[in-house]
Structure 1
């Protein structure tokens, strides 16, 4: 791994753990065991590091959505796979990261909103249409409306007021994201879809048992 990639990898780990605002260039240099001068040879400032890291993150998530869609046997399996990877990803991110992006990195925040609206939302719409066509989701659903409602619910888990109100339950954000996705899925399936969902859930239970 070259020096630039080491800087990006270390900075990403620090940003996701502590947020972008509280991590300084000094912190990154100290973690890497190198001088700030070396970092500035590759990046003009911290914002440039944040922009490149987040652009990569959005692209990785975009490609992952396409990969899951292409490799899943049906829309329900796709949703369950997305729930799994989303939950794991969120567990490794401090919620303050999104707040910092919104307040201190406007260009990155715009890119995040664009990803949510164009890529994540489009993926949900495609899944809903496919599920309706296969008789796994209810035929009276409006994919566009349901996709919007679902993403609003997903955004809500990062709302401090909401998470504080259920923090005594000791759920992490990854657990909450899985709950939201599974609740959404159970609300849209037909009887056939419900039976298939139960099969997937039972299979997962059996494979995770010691």
Structure 2
């Protein structure tokens, strides 16, 4: 096996996510992952380093995918109001079961990962703030809204529901309703 092979890394990430769904963040170890991935533990460590690095990679890949989805969504040549109406649905597309299942444990057990995730989320913050500012300047959103505050409310709702939801479907049903309400309130 070649170290740095993207296909092998993908297999490892998928196996890790599968273990996370079944056992949670703490319920498995690298021996389990090596067995699940079909490789020796030594090879596994050469490819991914350690469990903390692997968990970060899983979260990081999810955030990168989400960033690309949101960038692509915002660049569409559609009416602003149509984009705003579909935004909650688009946000949910980028949140996979892994993020819902592991967010609470990552925050408490792996503060270094939480810190790195916060850094990556700064890109999201800029995208959303720019989107709200665009709507405000085009006259679709209320003049008195503060884009930073709207973004902070959105992030707070997301975090709260990630920590309180037992699974992705519970998260989705609650957050969609809340985000739709938020986006309706900021409209003119």
What TM-score do you get using the length of structure 1 for normalisation? Answer: 0.73
Q: CA deviation at 1:36?
A: 2.1
Q: CA deviation at 1:88?
A: 4.0
* Residues 131, 107 of structure 1: alpha-carbon distance in 2 compared, 3 angstrom cutoff: same
* Residues 137, 115 of structure 1: alpha-carbon distance in 2 compared, 3 angstrom cutoff: same
Task: State how far apart, in whole Å, the 1-side matches of 2:83 and 2:28 are.
Answer: 36
* Residues 144, 86 of structure 1: alpha-carbon distance in 2 compared, 3 angstrom cutoff: closer
Tell me whether 101-110 or 15-24 shows the greater mean CA deviation: 15-24
Partner of 1:51: 56
Q: CA deviation at 1:97?
A: 0.6
Q: Is the counterpart of residue 130 in structure 1 residue 134 in structure 2?
A: yes
Q: Can you give the 5+ residue segments of structure 2 that lack an aligned partner in the other structure?
A: 1-5
What TM-score do you get using the length of structure 2 for normalisation? Answer: 0.80
**C-alpha deviations, 1:59-103, integer Å up to 9, x for none?**
222222211111251333334444223324446236341122112
* Residues 57, 122 of structure 1: alpha-carbon distance in 2 compared, 3 angstrom cutoff: same
Q: 1:40 aligns with which of 38, 45, 53?
A: 45
Q: Is the counterpart of residue 142 in structure 1 residue 134 in structure 2?
A: no
Partner of 1:179: 177
Report how many aligned residue pairs link the two structures: 182
Partner of 1:154: 158
Task: State how far apart, in whole Å, the 2-side matches of 1:60 and 1:91 are.
Answer: 10
**C-alpha deviations, 1:145-168, integer Å up to 9, x for none?**
2222222222221243xx58xx9x
Q: Are the equivalent residues in 1 in contact too, given 2:70–2:90 (CA < 8 A)?
A: no
Q: CA deviation at 1:140?
A: 1.9
Helix, strand or coil for the counterpart of 2:157? helix
Greater radius of gyration (CA): 1
Task: State how far apart, in whole Å, the 1-side matches of 2:126 and 2:99 are.
Answer: 26
Q: Are the equivalent residues in 2 in contact too, given 1:91–1:173 (CA < 8 A)?
A: no
Q: 1:75 aligns with which of 55, 80, 94?
A: 80
* Residues 2, 157 of structure 1: alpha-carbon distance in 2 compared, 3 angstrom cutoff: closer
